[in-house]
Amino acid sequence: MTQGSTKKDIERRKKSKFKVGVIGATGYTGVELLRLLILHPDVHLEVITSESKAGKKISELHPSLDGIADIELQKIDTIKNHELDLVFLALPHRVSMDFVKEHGLDGFRIVDLSGDFRLNSASLYEKWYEKEHVCPSYLDQSVYGLPELNRDAIRNANLVANPGCYPTSTILALLPLIQQQMVDVDSIIVDSKSGVTGAGASPKTFTHFPNQFGNFFAYGLKSHRHTPEIETILGTVSYDQLTVQFTPHLLPIDRGILTTTYSTPRKALNEDLVRDAYLNYYEKEHFVRVVDQPPSVKNVRGSNFCDLYATYDERTNRVITISAIDNLVKGAAGQAIQNMNLMFGLLENTGLKYPPLNP
d(CA 259, CA 64): 29
φ, ψ of residue 265 to 5 degrees: the values are -60, 145
Helices (H), 137-225: 147-155, 165-179, 209-212
Angle between helices 226-235 and 165-179 (to 10 degrees): 30
d(CA 61, CA 4): 36
Q: What is the DSSP string of 198-211?
A: GG-SS--GGGSHHH
d(CA 184, CA 318): 10
What strands lie across the sheet with 306-313, from one edge to the other? 217-218, 244-250, 188-194, 257-263, 318-325, 306-313, 288-290
Residue 359: which residues within 8 A CB-CB, separation 6 or more?
Answer: 298
Residues with catalytic function: 165
Closest CA to 286 of 329, 209, 348: 348
